């Protein structure tokens, strides 16, 4: 059993800033609890609809084409690609962008005031 070398608090903080992620989409972060599953469900419904449409036309096709349609329906060929959630922003990047925005805001009202 190998033991890890103990990390200093500074090393732990650097790892935390690198690994932790934050939602940078600027929408309500609670809304993603509903929107992400909804997008995934819609994508699955779309795939099932395409498969069902293709299978409904199988009686009108010749044997070779019918085999291809049935095979693609079994292999979920429509599922390739699809919707994926974009990755969140690293915590270190998120903090630096917050600091930049804060610097831009400081003194904004004073600079617009006419003396």
Render pLDDT for 40-62 as a digit per residue (tens, 0 to 9): 899 889 888 888 888 888 878 78
Q: Structure pTM?
A: 0.56
Q: Is residue 71 part of a domain?
A: yes
Q: Where residue 7 falls among pLDDT bands split at 50, 70, 90?
A: very high
CA distance 89 to 19: 10
Q: Is residue 49 part of a domain?
A: yes
Q: Is residue 53 part of a domain?
A: yes
Domain count, the chain: 1
CA distance 82 to 16: 31
Q: Is residue 4 part of a domain?
A: no
On the question of pLDDT at 13 being above 90, the answer is yes
Return the closest-CA partner of residue 18 out of 94, 96, 92, 99: 92
User: Do residues 21 and 90 make contact, with C-beta atoms less than 8 angstroms apart?
Assistant: yes
Q: Is residue 20 part of a domain?
A: no
37 versus 80: the higher-pLDDT residue is 37
Q: Where residue 19 falls among pLDDT bands split at 50, 70, 90?
A: very high
41 versus 80: the higher-pLDDT residue is 41
Domain that holds residue 45: 27-78
Average pLDDT value for the chain = 84
Q: Is residue 74 part of a domain?
A: yes
Q: Is residue 59 part of a domain?
A: yes
């Amino acid at each position: 059993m190998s033991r890890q070398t103990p990390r200093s608090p500074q090393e732990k903080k650097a790892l935390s800033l690198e690994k932790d992620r934050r939602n940078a989409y600027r929408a309500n972060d609670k809304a993603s609890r509903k929107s992400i599953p909804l997008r995934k469900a819609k994508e699955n419904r779309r795939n099932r609809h395409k498969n069902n449409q293709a299978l409904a036309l199988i009686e009108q096709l010749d044997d070779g084409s019918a085999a291809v349609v049935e095979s693609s329906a079994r292999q979920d060929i429509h599922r390739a690609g699809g919707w994926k959630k974009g990755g969140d922003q690293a915590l270190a990047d998120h903090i630096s962008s917050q600091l930049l925005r804060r610097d831009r805001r400081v003194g904004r009202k004073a600079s617009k005031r006419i003396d």
